[in-house]
Every structure is written in C-alpha cells, then in structure tokens.
Structure 1
Amino acid sequence: MQFPDDDNGQMLAAMAEAGIDLTRELEVDFFLVFEDKRDAESAIEVLTQQDQQGELELHFDEETNQWEVIVSIQMVPEYEALSAKETQLNDFAKEFDGISDGWGVMQHQDGDGDFADDHVHDEHCHH
C-alpha cells in the first residue's frame, strides 16, 4: 500500500507494516487539546449536543499542563476519511481556543501485532 508522505500517511504506513488490517473498522482516537478546562468542557458539551458519533473523554495531561478531549470513533482508517475528520475536529476545536493534536489507535485489536498506544503528532503537538 502506498500512502501520502505526511503525518497521516506515515502513521497508516506504520500501522500496515505492523500488520493491522486497514480495511476493517478500528477504534480511532482523535485528540483535541485546550489550555483551559472550561473550554474543553464547553467543547464536550457541544459535541454531545451535536450527537457526535463515538465516545468522548476528558482528561488532564500533567506533562503538558493541558486538557485533552479524546473523541473515539469506530471507522475504517482510510487516509481521506482520517484527514477529513481531523480537519473537521480541528476547525471545531478552534472555536473553543483549542487545536487538534493528531489521532491514534490506542488499543490492541485482533491481529495488530505490537502496534498500539501511539498517535500522529502534528506541528501543534505538545507531547
């Protein structure tokens, strides 16, 4: 499989190399970061009201001293779909003074080998 030479493409290539079946649905976590807890809570409230597909989680990252909203979505990890969802969530996060901080597959799935607990970092990433 060939992937574009950017963060999303490199992540998908690494997943494929690790033996993950990229043709089936996986739980993909998208990370939104906020400096202020109220902004993160407001974003979650609006996502909940919008009936956003997937699960939402809020947690405080002590290393970066920022609030992280995790949007977990069951989806086939296709480049275009991942990039579109990441852009959509980044635009949304900006409305609450936040940014998208990449995505990842955060759990072992059947047949995924040793690949887990990693996410794509972009130029805004603080991890």
Structure 2
Amino acid sequence: MQFPDDDNGKMLAAMADAGIDLTKQLDVDFFLVFDDQRDAEYAAEELAKSEIEGEMELHLNDDLGQWELIVCIPMVPEYQAVVDQEVQLNTFAKEFGGVTDGWGVMQHQDGDDEFADDEHECSNECKH
C-alpha cells in the first residue's frame, strides 16, 4: 500500500508493516488536549451531545501537564477518513481552547495477530 509522506501516512504505513489489516474497522483513538480542566470538561460534554459516534475518556496527562480527551471512534482507518476526522475534531477542540494531538490504535484488536500472546492462559484473575 502507498501512503502520503506525512505523519498520518507514516502511521498507517507502520500499522500496515506491523500486520494490521487496514481494510477492517478498528477503534481509532484521537487525542484532544486542553490546558484548562473546565474547557476539557465542557468540550467532553458538548462532544457527547454531537453526532460523533464513539467513546470518550478524559484525564489529566501528567507527562503533558494538560487535560487529554481521548475520543475512540470505530472506523476503517483509510487515509482520507483519518485526516477528515482529525480536521473535524481539531476544529471542534479549538472552540474550547484545545487542539488535536495525534491519533493511534490499541496494539491488539480484532484482526491484529501481531501482539497475540499464545502462551497466556486465562484464569479467574484475568481482567480482559
């Protein structure tokens, strides 16, 4: 697969190289950061009311010293779809004094055998 030579294209190329099937729907996490807790909370409330379908998580990122709103959107990670979603979320975040700060996927999802742990045996203590 060929991808544009930008951050999004490089991320998709790395995912493809890792064996992730980019033709299947994945949970894509988009990161929005805010300096102010109130702005982040208000943005989360407004985003929950919007047409964007997905799960959200808000927490203080100690490494950044900023509030991070993670928006998990199930989607096929096609280049233009990712770019369009990132632009939409960045426009939204700016209304509340925030910006987008990239995106990514969890290391193991359906269709992604790269990180399978064949030696793991589930027990009563498993939390997955």
Provide the residue aligned with 1:90 in structure 2: 90
TM-score if structure 1 supplies the norm length? 0.86
Provide the residue aligned with 1:23 in structure 2: 23
Distance 1:41 1:26, change over 3 A: same
TM-score if structure 2 supplies the norm length? 0.86
Q: Distance in 2 between matches of 1:16 and 1:95?
A: 34
Counterpart AA for 1:111: D
Counterpart AA for 1:105: V
Q: Distance in 1 between matches of 2:31 and 2:106?
A: 11
1:18–1:112 Cα contact (<8 Å) kept? no
Calculate the aligned-residue CA RMSD, in Å: 1.0
Deviation of the 1:113 alpha carbon: 1.0
Provide the residue aligned with 1:66 in structure 2: 66
Q: Distance in 1 between matches of 2:113 and 2:67?
A: 29
Distance 1:112 1:37, change over 3 A: farther
Secondary structure, in 3 states, of the residue corresponding to 1:31? strand
Deviation of the 1:106 alpha carbon: 2.0
1:55–1:73 Cα contact (<8 Å) kept? yes
Larger Cα-atom Rg: 2
* Unpaired segments ≥5 residues, structure 1: 115-127
Task: Write out aligned runs for 1:1-127 (5 A).
Answer: 1-109=1-109, 110-114=111-115
Q: Distance in 1 between matches of 2:47 and 2:107?
A: 23
Deviation of the 1:4 alpha carbon: 0.1
* Unpaired segments ≥5 residues, structure 2: 116-128
1:56–1:70 Cα contact (<8 Å) kept? yes
**Residue by residue, what CA displacement relative to the aligned partner does 1:39-80 show, whole Å, maximum 9, x if unpaired?**
000100101111420001101111111000000011000000
For these two proteins, the number of residue pairs brought into alignment is 114
